[in-house]
Structure 1
Amino acid sequence: MATIQIEGGCYCGAVRYLANEKPKYQAICFCANCRRAVGAQSVAWVTFTTDRFSFVKGSPARFRTDTEAWRTFCRDCGSSLTYESDDRPGEIDAVTASLDRPEDFPPNRRVFEEERLPWDTFRIETPASTDEPKRD
């Protein structure tokens, strides 16, 4: 059986990562935290297990959020790269757009749709998730 290798990285190439599994989830998130962190009306994520994901070039900056999560980004170009929540130990989300082949991983679920901006009328034909993480 062929080894799965999914690669990605930042805009300038200073940080690269590798995942050795297919994503557990492929989601689009509408939460305010993701919007602010990425600078867009929504963000697509792919989820991997942390033991199958590694940074293989460079070291991203890490930011601890007020929602008890870690976000990483390139210190040189500012590209948002990953998200890890204390609510989901053992999982890491990578920004789909940071993958070398994002077209291979379209979102197949929506999360925090209740936080979608009212002017964001673009619709992706995916089911809304009923098992999204809880926030305080």
Structure 2
Amino acid sequence: MTDGHCLCGAVRFEFDGTPLWQAHCHCESCRRNCSAPVTSYFGVADGRWRWTGTAPAVYVSTPGVQRMFCATCGTPMAYRAEQWPGEIHFYAASLDDPLAFTPEEHVHWDEHLPWLPISDDLPRR
């Protein structure tokens, strides 16, 4: 079992098994949602995860996209999109043990910020 939580600890989640995928996202909407130059996510299949604390607040950031966050401290917690049915995407930095995150690729590389040098050899798409 793997666990994670928001800054204040109110919103908590857990999941069983390994993530479906793990990636760094460089798209503008993720950057703006987190006020960060890159956001790291992992996908978990529905039925393998659950909220164990207060359920997060939800807003629709664009048609077909829901973003979940702690209504108390504002920490972004998860992302769900119609484009990826049957899975939820959690932020790697919210893991109780963020060292458990092992990125496999960079996505939306065409939107990356050139002032943040990235020197790993992960695939970029």
Unaligned 5+ residue runs, structure 2? none
- SS across alignment from 2:47: helix
Q: Determine the structure 2 residue equivalent to 1:77.
A: 73
Listed as ranges, the matches of 1:1-136 within 5 Å are: 5-129=1-125
Q: Which runs of 4+ in 1 moved over 4 A?
A: none
Q: CA deviation at 1:124?
A: 2.8
Q: Deviations over 1:86-128 (max 9, x none)?
A: 0010011100000011112121111000000121212332112
Identity %: 34
TM-score (norm 2): 0.95
- SS across alignment from 2:4: strand
TM-score (norm 1): 0.88
Q: Deviations over 1:41-96 (max 9, x none)?
A: 00000110021111111011101111421110001111111001100100111000
Unaligned 5+ residue runs, structure 1? 130-136
Q: 1:67 to 1:112 in 2, by over 3 A?
A: farther
- SS across alignment from 1:35: helix
- Between the aligned partners of 1:35 and 1:65, the Cα distance in structure 2 is 13
